[in-house]
Structure formats: C-alpha cells, structure tokens
A and B are shown apart, each in its own frame.
Chain A
C-alpha cells in the first residue's frame, strides 16, 4: 500500500525568509532520509534556487505557455539530497492572472498523479506572502496541504500578513481545508522579539514551532547558492533548521486559529509600539546616567 504523503504549505510575507527557511526544512528532511518535493508557488520562481546551486529551473507555467499539453515530469528537477524541485511560475508582472496560474500548476501535477508516483514522504508548498486571491489560497483548500505553517518575524507587517493567512485558514476550515500547524518565528534575536511573537500566538490560539535567529551563516550559504544545511552542516543554525524539520515531520495535530479582528490588530500593535518606545527611552536614560 502506498504511504500517505504529508503535504505542507508554508506562507509568509514577502522577504521574510520563506524560501530560505523552506529550502532548509526540505534539505534537513532529505538529509534525514525522506523523499521530499519542494513546490514553489510564487511567480518569481526562485523558491528552489538554493537547492540547485543557485540555478533557476523552467516553471510549470513556462511549459504550459509553450505547449498545449505538458508532461509534468518535464517540470520536475532534482536538487540537493534528491529533493524534487518544482516551480509553478507565472505570467510576466502586470499581465494575466498569477492566482489562476498557481491553480493550474498544482492541478497539472495532481492530475498526473505525480505525488503518488514519486512515492513522496513530503510535499512542501512555498507560497507567496499575502493570500490576495483564491489562487494563492489553493494549498490551503481541500485536497492539497493538510498542515499550514506561517513564517513571521516580530515585525508588525509580517504579523499582519500572518493574521490575514489565519483568516484564510479560518474561512476554509469548515470546508475540509488545511489547518494551522503553527508559526515559524524568524529573525528572533532579542527578548522583545520573543515576547511580541509569543503574545501574538497566544492571542490567536496557535504556537511557535521554532525560533530561528537571524544569522550571517544563512546569508553566506545563500550567496554560494546553497542552503545552510548543505553549506554549513555543522553550524548552530543548521542544527536549528534540523530541529525545526523534525518538529514539522513529527507534527500531527493542526488547529483552527483565532485571527485578530482589524481593529483588535491595530490596537494590539499600537500597545506594543508604546512599550517599544518606552523601552527605548529607558535605554537612553540609562546611557545618559552612565
């Protein structure tokens, strides 16, 4: 009997480190012996770059644009640790409908039973920031991913994006959609960052899966076109990514989050802003006294 493929979607605001984190999770899972596919759902089509030495691969939509019928195998490329890399791709900026593109790309692979055929343990969808339209909600909807994780820093804009995603999950939660596994807290270096993100997950009835600090090791690895797992396997950062990957692999129970309302979110961020300013003032006074 074929094993059940665990399908995971990772969302987050643009530039928050989504593709970096996703690629490191994929790399860590592959290293642990799992069969993994990473599926980039962003028209920029750069999700899997660090799994393939910095190379771009032809996208599903590139192939659909050029051909009337497409063999999905032509859109699958092997990367680090045998990870199957796929990029949905999209139209040129400002033209057409990228959301529909994501839908078509995902459907193409599903229609051709690729996940079953490759006998995958994990499919990880790396999805562009905000859930702006139905297309970007595809991995959340029925029959695609079962668990959604969101990457967020303690930055308010990132938290807004996460909260929007929670609303999307809530919308589809009673229609068989994916549920929330938790928040991957990225660029968390100070106690203050910890407190903000902990407060947010507390209020929205979810959890932090792992705190990932900002690290120059990651930047160096990226510049060499590799993941941290590949470029600096013995680093502290690599061990954090491995721990994160293990938690995701072991994760079974996802939940419906309780997103904050628009006004609630504004008030919440304003109260944290006040505390930030107060802390900053205290620090300055301390310096003056010294």
Chain B
C-alpha cells in the first residue's frame, strides 16, 4: 500500500500579490479614445507616440468581439505620432498642425484631443493649443490621458468630464421630468455594450422615460450630450463607473442621481430596476403604460423560460453546478446576481479585474455577501492573470466541471479544469459580437442560450 502525502495534493495556497501583470484586462487611460469613438459622429485626435492609438484600438475593439472602427475610431483617428523632436521641443506645434489638418478633411460633431504619456510628462500646454479653436467655435475638447494616470476606466471618466465641462457647459434652463441620462458600461471595453445599452434604453423608454444613452448606435450623438443638463436625473448603472461623473453633474447642475450597482439581467432584476427608477422619478401613482410594458415583457420572458425549464430540469446531469466569474465589476456583479438568483447556480469564485477605486470596494463586497436571501459569497480584486488563474485552480468546484464566465485568457484554464467557458469581457477574442446583449429582459434569454449552447455543445 502506498502512503499518500496529503500535503502535496492540497490545492495551492493563494499566491502572494505580484508586482507584475500578465495577460492584461484593460487598456491605459488613452484607451478612452474608444469612449469618443462610441459617440456617434465624434472623432478622437490623439497626441501620443506612434503605436499607442493602434494598440488601444486593436486591443479594446478588434481582439475584443471584433467590434470595428466605427465612424471616427480605428484607422480614422488622427495622431501626432510624437517622436524625440516633440519630447525635446514640446509637441504643441505639431498638435496644432494636426488639429488644423484634421478640421480640413474630417467631418465631426465633436473632436476630442487625448494626450499620451509623452505629452503629459513633458508638460505640453494642451489647453493653450485647443482653446483658440474653442474660441473660434470649433467643437473640440481635450483630456490629458497619459497612461500613468490610470487605466481606460480612468480615461473614460476624464474624457466624459472634459466633454461636459468644455463642450456641454453651463445650463440655467428648466429640467425635463421624463428625460434621464444613463452612465453604465464602458464602451468597447465591455464587449456587449452596444446591445446592452440598446436594451437599457429600450426598457427605460418602455416605462415612459426618454433616455440620453450617450454612447452607441442608439445615441443621437452630441445633441444628446448637449441635453445632459436638461435631464431630470442621472442613472448610474453599475457598482462604481460613472459615480464620479454623476457626482460632478450633481455639483455642476444640481442634478440628482440614482445609483443602481447591479446591472439587471432577467425579468426579476429588470422589473425591480424599472420600479426603482420610477420611484426615484417621483412617480408614486403607477402609470398604466409602465405597468403594461412590464407585464408584457415579463409574459414574454417567462414564456421562453417555461420552455427552457423542460431542458433545464431534464438535462441536469450534464449541466454545471458551480461557476466562477472573472471580469469587470459591472458584469461580474450582474452575472453573479443572475446566476445565483435565477439559475440557482453555486458561486465558486468571483474576481473583479478593473481595479475599482478603494472607496467603492467595501460596498461591492457587501453586495456579494448578500447576493441572495439565502446565499452569501465573497469577491476578490485582482488584475494579474497569473494570480487569477492560480486562484481558480485552488478553488473547489466540487465533483462537476465548473463553468467559467471570463475572457479569452481563461480558455486554456477552462480546458485544464475540464470546464466550460463563456467569454463575457475584455478580451473576448473568440466571439464576434454585433448587437448581442446579455442584460435586461431580452439579453437574459440570449445569455441563457449562450450558456447552455456552450454546455450541451461541449458533449458533441
């Protein structure tokens, strides 16, 4: 009989925090060029070294659902391609030349100048270059987005604020009680943002609101941005991104905001979200239109769910019971919520990868602690894929193969764990994503299809 050394087969202990990141899960601040590209008829102008713009585009848009360049993104983006000359003598003149040339050949409702590390380190006076154009009435703003300022989430908030402060400007007029602004998913970085924002707009309009969705195909572009101060309030839909913007709008325009940390997936969560919004809007009396919309959406949703339940009940032996989610805070919380509350799956490991600001972390953890009436789970914050994978390896998923909601970086690991993988975040390099959505009433059904097609497909 062989003696088994139990110590040697114990799952590896969680590794110590490393000082490096392998397999990145975000871009740098100038990746917010994609925030600009997400606004219809807006064009970014980048003042950075050669390679920055292309790399951010290829990462955040191409190898992430193959989302395309759009009207003003991708190969359209004019860049100074700053070299040693711009380092030594400053790049102001070169940028001025580029803006002047861009105005001659590009047609946009708004240009946004984004700076990279070179300019921010050398200290180019970008305001000094851009403000003469602004004084001439050219629709142009600038944001200093050198990579050392943070990731593309940080860049997104810098760009958003730049547009509000430099282009939307002061507002003294009245508010429109039916109009709301939505601050939610990070465009492009979240692979499904186009479909998701479309669904969020659809359901809010369904209950009688009008929506400045601000980004994506359903946005009316800059005219919508100009109408931001007219909205009755702001909705921040996600655990942290957008809160800084909403606070700024509150200070600037006295506009209140409703913070809903969990992006709703499925009828239960979506209906609750809509009722919360309606209550915040001060609609005490339930409007017949809103209730009719909710009833109709729920009826359709549950009809499909009823059909799905045949499969779900009968195929139990082939379906995963425990899951892991690795991704940005917004999708991570939304998915965990849905999987636990709607599908009854057991949370195995949740890892948030977008480096949320410290002030939000304790609050985010609380949501996981109370994810359902009878389920409490935990969440970790980690950006390095080596560490993330070590943590997943060390997780006890029970005797059944787990399902991992993650990114392309988890593909090999899923094979190693003999589990299923659903790519739900950056980078999603093995999915072509157009209008697909995983949120709201309709997106939840698509998500169910995706999850269980992946699972049953694995046995073929």
Contact = CB atoms under 8 A, between A and B. Distances in A.
Q: Are A and B interaction partners?
A: yes
Contacts of B89: 61, 65, 91-92, 95-96, 101
B6 interface: no
Contact of A100 (B87, B92, B124, B125): B87
A101 B89 CA distance: 8
A61 B89 CA distance: 9
**Max count, chain B CB within 10 A of own CB: residue among A61, A65, A100:** A100
Contact of B85 (A64, A90, A95): A64
Interface in B54-99: 84-90, 92
**Max count, chain B CB within 10 A of own CB: residue among A90, A95, A101, A104:** A95
Contacts of B121: 97
B357 to A, nearest CB: 30
Nearest to B125: A95
Nearest to A65: B89
Contacts of A61: 88-89
Nearest to A102: B88
Interface of B is mostly: helix
Contacts of A98: 88
Contacts of A96: 86-90, 122
A65 B90 contact: no
Contacts of A64: 85, 88
Interface string A15-45: 0000000000000000000000000000000
Interface string B108-135: 0000000000000110110000000000
A61 B122 CA distance: 16
Given A96-B122, A97-B122, A91 B85 contact: no
Contacts of B125: 95
A100 B86 CA distance: 10
Interface in A35-93: 61, 64-65, 90-92
A65 B89 CA distance: 8
Contacts of B86: 96
- Taking residues whose C-beta sits less than 8 angstroms from the other chain, chain A's interface range is 10 to 19
Interface in A104-130: 104
Contacts of B122: 96-97, 100
A92 B90 CA distance: 9
Contacts of A91: 88-90
A92 B86 CA distance: 13
A110 to B, nearest CB: 15
Nearest to A97: B122
Contacts of A100: 84, 87-88, 122
A37 to B, nearest CB: 22
A104 B84 contact: yes
A268 to B, nearest CB: 35
A97 B87 contact: yes
Nearest to A90: B88
A289 to B, nearest CB: 59
Contacts of A90: 88
Contact of B92 (A95, A97, A101, A104): A95
A97 B87 CA distance: 6
A90 B86 CA distance: 12
B92 to A, nearest CB: 7
Contacts of B92: 95
A65 B87 contact: no
A104 B83 CA distance: 12
A100 B84 CA distance: 8
Contacts of A104: 84, 88
Contacts of B90: 91, 95-97
Contacts of A92: 89
B281 to A, nearest CB: 51
A90 B122 CA distance: 13
Interface in B168-198: none
Contacts of B84: 100, 104
B167 to A, nearest CB: 27
B73 to A, nearest CB: 30
A61 to B, nearest CB: 6
A64 B121 CA distance: 21
A104 B88 CA distance: 9
Nearest to B88: A101
Contacts of A65: 85, 88-89
B47 to A, nearest CB: 14
A136 to B, nearest CB: 14
A98 B88 CA distance: 6
Nearest to A135: B88
Nearest to A95: B90
B93 to A, nearest CB: 9
Nearest to A89: B88
Contacts of A101: 88-89
Interface string B300-330: 0000000000000000000000000000000
Nearest to A98: B88
A100 B89 CA distance: 9
A83 to B, nearest CB: 26
A45 B86 CA distance: 20
A100 B122 CA distance: 10
A101 B122 CA distance: 12
**Max count, chain B CB within 10 A of own CB: residue among A65, A92, A96:** A96
B94 to A, nearest CB: 11
A49 B342 CA distance: 82
A70 to B, nearest CB: 11
15 contacts: A61-B88, A61-B89, A91-B88, A91-B89, A95-B89, A95-B90, A95-B92, A96-B86, A96-B122, A97-B87, A97-B90, A100-B84, A100-B87, A100-B122, A104-B84
Interface of B: 84-90, 92, 121-122, 124-125
4 tightest Cβ-Cβ pairs between the two chains A and B: A96-B90, A95-B90, A101-B88, A96-B89
Given A64-B88, A104-B88, 18 more contacts: A61-B89, A64-B85, A65-B89, A90-B88, A91-B90, A95-B90, A95-B125, A96-B87, A96-B88, A96-B90, A97-B87, A97-B88, A97-B90, A97-B121, A97-B122, A98-B88, A100-B84, A101-B88
